[in-house]
C-alpha cells in the first residue's frame, strides 16, 4: 500500500515541533546554569550539579514512566485513554512519594556523602523527586495522544518558569537550595495547571487494571531505561564524593552542557519510538533519518568544542571555570557515543528486541572503573567514554542479532 505523504513526513514534523521548543527551553536552561555558575561559588555549583545527578538517579523511573505513559496512552482511545492516564498519575505519585521519603530519611547520610554542610538541599531534591513523575505522566499523556504542540509549550513553560524562579532564589542568596527550588516551583505550577485545567487528559479511579495489560512492555521500558539513567548520572554523583569540591565544580560545567544537549536526542528518540509503535511496517529509512540527526547533534557539539571551548567557558561561566575548557572535546566524545546508544535503545524497546540483562556488562565496566581508580576529571571522562562505548557495542550487537533473526524468519 503506498504511503500517505503526510504520514511519511509525520516523524520529521514531530521532531521539528519538539526540537524547536527544546531549543528555546534549552536556551532558558543554559541561561539558568550560567546564572547559577556565576552566582554560586565553584564548590557550591559542583554541589548543585551533584544534587541534580542524585535527583536523576533516585528518579530512575521518570524517563521509563514517561515512555510507558506514551506507549499505553497511544494504544488506547476515549475513556480508556483517560483511565490509563489516571493510572499513571497514581503510579507516579506513589513511586515519587516513597522514594522522596526515603531520601529525606537518609538526608544526613547523603549530605555527608556529597560534602554538603546542610540537609536542606537534600530536602528540596526530595521534593523534586516527588513532583517529577507526576509532571512526567502529564507529558506522556500529551505525547501519547499526539498533542505535540501542547507538550512542546509545556516543556517551554517549565524551562522559563525554572529560569525565573531559580534566578530569583539565587539572587536572594539561597545557594544550592535556591537553585534546586527553581525546579520545584516550576514543576508545581505546571502540575496545578494540568490538575485543574486539563481534566480531559485523565480519569482518577483507584487501580491499575489497564496498565497491568501492558505490564510486559512497561517492565521492559522501566528496566532498560533504568540501567541507562543510572549510568548517565552515576559519574557526577560519585565524583562529588571522591573528588575535591572545586574540581567537582569544574566537572559540573561539563555535566551542565550535557543537560543542554541530551534533550535534543530525546526530541528525536521519543517521536521515533512512537512511529515504530504506530506502524505495522516501519517507515522506510526511519532509523537512518533518526541516526543522522543524532549523529549530527554530536558532531556539531564536537566542532564547537574544537573551535571555541575556552571562549565559551570563560564568557558564559566565568574565569573561575576556565580550566574545564580543556576537557570539553573529550567529554563531547563520551556524549556523542551515549546519544547514539540511546537511539538504538529506543529502537530496540519499540521493537521489543531489548534484553536488559546484557546491559549489566557496561554497568559493570562503569562501576569497576569509578570505584577502583583515583578520580580526576580526565579519568572520569575516560571511564565514561569506555563505559558508553561498551554500552553502544552491546546495544548494536543486540540490534544486529535481532535483524539477522528477523531476516531468517522472513526467508522461511
- In the chain, count of helices (H) and strands (E)? 16, 0
Percent helix, percent strand, percent coil in the chain, to nearest 5 = 85, 0, 15
The low-confidence residues of the chain, meaning pLDDT below 70, are 1-19, 22, 60, 207-218, 267, 270-284, 403-412
Beta carbons within 8 Å of 58's beta carbon, 6+ residues apart: 99, 102, 103, 125, 129
At residue 124, the pLDDT reads 94
At residue 209, the pLDDT reads 64
At residue 58, the pLDDT reads 77
E strands, 301-375, where?
none
At residue 207, the pLDDT reads 67
At residue 241, the pLDDT reads 84
At residue 83, the pLDDT reads 85
Q: Evaluate the CA torsion angle 210, 216, 217, 219 in order and state its sign.
A: positive
At residue 371, the pLDDT reads 92
Per-residue pLDDT of 90-121, as tens digits, reads 888 998 999 899 999 999 998 988 888 889 99
Cell 516527588, located at residue: 130
- From the list 323, 254, 320, the residue with the least C-alpha distance to 41 is 320
* CB-CB contact of 179 with 36 (8 Å): yes
242 phi and psi angles, rounded to 5 deg: -115, -10
**H or E element at residue 342:** helix 328-350
Domain ranges of the chain: 5-411
Amino acid at each position: 500500500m503506498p504511503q500517505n505523504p503526510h504520514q511519511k513526513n509525520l516523524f520529521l514534523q514531530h521532531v521539528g515541533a519538539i526540537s524547536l521548543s527544546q531549543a528555546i527551553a534549552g536556551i532558558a536552561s543554559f541561561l539558568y546554569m550560567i546564572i547559577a555558575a556565576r552566582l554560586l561559588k565553584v564548590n557550591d555549583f559542583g554541589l548543585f550539579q551533584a544534587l541534580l545527578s542524585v535527583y536523576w538517579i533516585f528518579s530512575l523511573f521518570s524517563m521509563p514512566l514517561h515512555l510507558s505513559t506514551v506507549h499505553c496512552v497511544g494504544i488506547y482511545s476515549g475513556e480508556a485513554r483517560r483511565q490509563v492516564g489516571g493510572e499513571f498519575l497514581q503510579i507516579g505519585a506513589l513511586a515519587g512519594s516513597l522514594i522522596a521519603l526515603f531520601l529525606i530519611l537518609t538526608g544526613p547520610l547523603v549530605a555527608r556523602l556529597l560534602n554538603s554542610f546542610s540537609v536542606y538541599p537534600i530536602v528540596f531534591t526530595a521534593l523534586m523527586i516527588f513532583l517529577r513523575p507526576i509532571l512526567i505522566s502529564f507529558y506522556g499523556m500529551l505525547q501519547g495522544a499526539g498533542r505535540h504542540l501542547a507538550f512542546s509549550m509545556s516543556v517551554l513553560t517549565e524551562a522559563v518558569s525554572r529560569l525565573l524562579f531559580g534566578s530569583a532564589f539565587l539572587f536572594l542568596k539561597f545557594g544550592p537550595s535556591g537553585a534546586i527550588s527553581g525546579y520545584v516551583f516550576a514543576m508545581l505550577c505546571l502540575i496545578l495547571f494540568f490538575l485543574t485545567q486539563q481534566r480531559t487528559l485523565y480519569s482518577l479511579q483507584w487501580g491499575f487494571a489497564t496498565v497491568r495489560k501492558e505490564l510486559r512492555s512497561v517492565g521492559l521500558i522501566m528496566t532498560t531505561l533504568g540501567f541507562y539513567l543510572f549510568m548517565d548520572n552515576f559519574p557526577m554523583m560519585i565524583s562529588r564524593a571522591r573528588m575535591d569540591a572545586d574540581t567537582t565544580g569544574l566537572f559540573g560545567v561539563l555535566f551542565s552542557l550535557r543537560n543542554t544537549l541530551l534533550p535534543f536526542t530525546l526530541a528525536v528518540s521519543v517521536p521515533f519510538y512512537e512511529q515504530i509503535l504506530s506502524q505495522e511496517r516501519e517507515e522506510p529509512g526511519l532509523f537512518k533519518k533518526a541516526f543522522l540527526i543524532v549523529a549530527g547533534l554530536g558532531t556539531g557539539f564536537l566542532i564547537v568544542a574544537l573551535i571555541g571551548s575556552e571562549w565559551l567557558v570563560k564568557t558564559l561561566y566565568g574565569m573561575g571555570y576556565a580550566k574545564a575548557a580543556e576537557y570539553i572535546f573529550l567529554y563531547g566524545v563520551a556524549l556523542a557515543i551515549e546519544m547514539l546508544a540511546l537511539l538504538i535503545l529506543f529502537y530496540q524497546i519499540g521493537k521489543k528486541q531489548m534484553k536488559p540483562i546484557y546491559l549489566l556488562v557496561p554497568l559493570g565496566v562503569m562501576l569497576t572503573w569509578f570505584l577502583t581508580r583515583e578520580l580526576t576529571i580526565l579519568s572520569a571522562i575516560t571511564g565514561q567514554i569506555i563505559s558508553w562505548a561498551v554500552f553502544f557495542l552491546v546495544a548494536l550487537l543486540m540490534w544486529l542479532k535481532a535483524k539477522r533473526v528477523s531476516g531468517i524468519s522472513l526467508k522461511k
